[in-house]
Amino acid sequence: MNLSFNQKKALNPYLPSWEYVPDGEPHVFGDRVYVYGSHDFFNGWVFCLGDYVCWSAPLSDLSDWRYEGVIYKRTDDPINEDGRMVLYAPDICQGPDGRYYLYYFYDKRSCINVAVSDKPEGPFVFYGRVRDDEGGLIGERYGDEPYFDPAVLVEGNYVYLYGGFCGQGDKSRTGCMVTVLDARDMLTVIEEPAFVIPGNCYSKGTGYEGHAFFEAPSIRKIGKKYVLVYSSERMCELCYAVSDSPDEDFEYKGCIVCNNDTGIDSYKPADVPTAYGGNNHGGLVQIGDDWYIFYHRQTNGTWYSRQGCAERVSVSEDALIPQVEMTSCGLSDSPLEGKGFIPAYIACNLFTEKNMFPMVGMGAGSSSIPKITQDGRDGDEEPGYIAGFSDGVTAGFKYFELKGVKKVSVISRGYGNGRFDFATEMGGKPVASVPVSNTNFWEMTSAEGKFPDGTFPIYITYRGDSAPSLLGFVLE
């Protein structure tokens, strides 16, 4: 069976279906956008098992992502020559000297480390650690709260370094902090850490209640405003705060994106999740006249195989950003063409009829729980697909420009006798029903349909026994 996805469109996830780069921090350098993140493994047993890799795309074509290779190995730092620690989420900035500085964090240390390169795509070499005038490492001195998830912003002679981690109920962690560094060496502290967003235990009466700081800060300057994106205590959402200053007076403004779509009420009740969420991390970037939020989703039914996604957002003059829903077309400037083969792994919604668990892990591992996955081992360039289509499971894809679609085919395998119902609204009347039966290999079955013309989502619901898998569908 020769199936190829021929559309030249940006998709979610924006990287190949076999790549797992979460915590994405997008930055424009020259005529390309580069994404830096941690690096999960397919079927990984913990977070961030891989070395740092980089992907980039030309600003003129956000579908054309190029692999820049490994930019920094976890053993490149002298404190981890034995490789026993993993590299958590990094960030990058360009210093006044024109070089590129990568700020990163290991899982078993509380300090912030720095590597440097002459090129945004690396490779990077170890440079030093953030320290005070006496050589004390920030985050590891007596009385310091550990740093975590560094985010950096350079302005003139100053580097603003953000970080922190606040688990719910942990009174030893106060919130997100910012430390001011000397841009002449990109390492030396000139202003001690100050807290700018409260954690869960210290949010009462602040305006952050219910959306207090958890982790994953990301800083951008938009016009004259400083916008600090972060993962809230709900973990699945990326919230943001705005200030006229980079180091004080941040005010909570809302949620930008949630990786289970809670908070979105355009096609469902706001409190109903329509994907299996989990922790979240990402950042904003402007490309041309448009702004985008990068984030990640969970796959394989676990916390540990996350993939980068992105959505276009609107930003007001006051740096206000309404929440956006998850889509399949993400970085694309238009809906996907409703023709030809559509891979199942680009589903932006995936939920069961009886239990829409808000967070992955709450029941994950059961054959009745649907998941986006792949065959083979980590690194194998195997196409993604959806496994676990038990009765009532629905996958949602957004959005398509449909015109004259009269026939639909599904490519499925596994045990299951039933049908895949296609609808153009959530819970809507089927416009086509494709029968499927037990098969050990990917097989295609087809049916006639009556799809409306226009811009629509497509929801696919399985009705039948067992739990077949779906590789994709074909619109004709």
Residues with a catalytic annotation lie at: 23, 215
* Residue 162 near residue 147, CB atoms below 8 Å: no
Beta strands across the sheet bearing 91-94: 91-94, 100-104, 113-117, 125-129
**Cβ count near 373 (within 10 Å):** 21
Going 209 to 213 to 217 to 219, the CA torsion angle's sign is positive
DSSP conformation letters of 253-292: EEEEEETT-TT--SSS-TT---S-B------EEEETTEEE
Burial of 447 (0-12, 13-18, 19+ CB in 10 A): middle
- Report cis status (omega within 30 of 0) of the bond before 399: yes
CA 235 to chain centre: 12
Q: What is the rounded CA–CA span in Å between residue 475 and residue 75?
A: 48
Q: What is the rounded CA–CA span in Å between residue 253 and residue 239?
A: 8
Instruction: Sort residue 261 into left (φ over 0), alpha (ψ -120 to 50) or beta.
Output: left
Closest CA to 312 of 295, 294, 292: 292
Going 101 to 180 to 283 to 371, the CA torsion angle's sign is positive
Going 153 to 155 to 157 to 162, the CA torsion angle's sign is negative
* Residue 35 near residue 26, CB atoms below 8 Å: yes
- Tokens coding 15: 């990287």
DSSP annotation of 419 reads: E
- Tokens coding 216: 């994953």
